Amino acid sequence: MAENDGNGEDGVRRRDFINIAAVSFAGVGGIAVVLPLVSQMSPSADVLAESSTEVDTSKIEAGQGITAVYRKQPLFVRRLTKKEIDEANAVDISTLRDPETLEQRTKPGHTDMLITMGVCTHLGCVPLGIQSDQNRGPFGGYFCPCHGSAYDTAARIRKGPAPKNLQVPDYVFTSDTVVSVG
């Protein structure tokens, strides 16, 4: 549009500069507006505040477990038997898909308290096995009926499509029996 301009280079450049600046401002403004529109979809303050849970482990017998709720998802809290601990420790971790020892997956002094998310790392189903009468699968831990992932007594993936061990959330023992998760 500027070919016919009779006022030489300076006129052209000044006009172009102003037009480019105006359009750029509109562009920057448009992008800035997108930020809150995207951000509004991430968890709101009340959802974030609910992301911690306290669990009392005192009433869990060896070999049994309970399902608590953490971030609106099942949290498996299970007290392992001596036999289950030995089974878990007997595994050569170099053979595992996601190598971790039972010690790494529990807290010192509480190696019998196995606390994991009850969410299969394959596609998010809830595995069976937290109750002793459920199918615990070929490795005695958890078994996910959706796609056949089998976890051992340390909730490590042993067979099936799941890529990872059941996730251990951040938690601390606030007393001998009370666990604060998240």
Partner 1 sequence: MSFPWAREYQPTNGLMKFLDEKLPLPRLVYGAIGAGYPVPRNLSYMWNFGVLAGFCLVLQIVTGVVLAMHYAPNALVAFGTTEHIMRDVNWGWLMRYAHANGASFFFIVVYLHIFRGFFYSSYKAPREMIWLLGVVIFLLMMATAFMGYVLPWGQMSFWGAKVITGLFSAIPVVGEPIQVWLLGGFAPDDAALNRFFSLHFLLPFVIAGVVILHIWALHIPGSSNPTGVEIKDESDTVPFHPYYTAKDGFGLGVFLIAYCVMVFFLPNYLGHPDNYIEANPLATPAHIVPEWYFWPFYAILRSFTVDFFFVPAKLMGVLAMFSAILMWFFLPWLDRSPVRSGHYRPLFRKFFWFGLIPTMAVLFYCGGAPAIEPYVMLSQLATAYYFLHFLVVLPLVSSFEKPEPLPFSITESVLGSDKPALSGE
Partner 2 sequence: MIRLFGISIGLVFAVAVLWAFANGVVSVAPVVSQYGSFTEPTAETVFHRHPKELHLQSDGPLGTWDYAQLQRGYQVYKEVCSACHSMKFLAFRDLEQLGYSPAQVKAEAATWQVPGVNPDTGEADMRPGTPIDSFPSPYPNKIAAAAANNNAVPPDLSLITKARHGGASYVYSLLTGFQPQPAALLKEFPDAKTPPGLHYNPYFANLNLAMAPPLTAEGQVAYGPGNPKPTINQMATDVAAFLTWTAEPKLQKRHQTGWPVLGFLLLATILAYLAKQQIWAAIKPKKTAATGSSDA
Q: Rule CB under 8 A: is residue 22 a binding residue for partner 1? A: yes
Contact at 8 Å (CB) between 139 and 159? yes
Q: Rule CB under 8 A: is residue 21 a binding residue for partner 2? A: yes
User: Least distance from C-beta 11 to partner 1, angstroms?
Assistant: 14
Select 13 or 164, whichever has its Cβ closest to partner 2: 13
Long-range pairs of 160-165 with CB within 8 A, sequence gap ≥ 24: 160/122, 161/122, 162/120, 162/121, 162/122, 163/97, 163/98, 163/121, 163/122, 164/97, 164/98, 164/121, 165/98, 165/100, 165/105, 165/116, 165/121
Interface stretch with partner 1, choices 38-46, 72-80, 137-145, 150-158 (CB under 8 A): 38-46
- Give the whole-angstrom CA distance, residue 135 versus residue 143: 7
Q: Rule CB under 8 A: is residue 32 a binding residue for partner 1? A: no
Question: Which does residue 40 touch among partner 1, partner 2, none (CB within 5 to 8 A, set by kind)?
Answer: partner 1
User: Least distance from C-beta 20 to partner 1, angstroms?
Assistant: 13
User: Least distance from C-beta 40 to partner 1, angstroms?
Assistant: 5
Q: Rule CB under 8 A: is residue 5 a binding residue for partner 2? A: yes
Interface stretch with partner 2, choices 26-34, 80-88, 120-128, 167-175 (CB under 8 A): 26-34
Long-range pairs of 123-129 with CB within 8 A, sequence gap ≥ 24: 123/147, 126/74, 127/151, 127/166
Select 144 or 181, whichever has its Cβ closest to partner 2: 181
Q: How many residues bind partner 2 (CB under 8 A)?
A: 23
Measuring CA to CA, how many Å separate 27 from each of 23, 31, 36, 141, 145? 6, 6, 16, 55, 51
* Pairing assessment for the beta strands 171-173 and 113-117 based on DSSP bridges: unpaired
Known active-site residue 122: no
Catalytic annotation, residues = 147
By the criterion CB under 8 A, which residues form the site for partner 2? 1-2, 4-7, 11-12, 15, 18-19, 21-23, 25-26, 28-29, 32, 45-46, 49-50
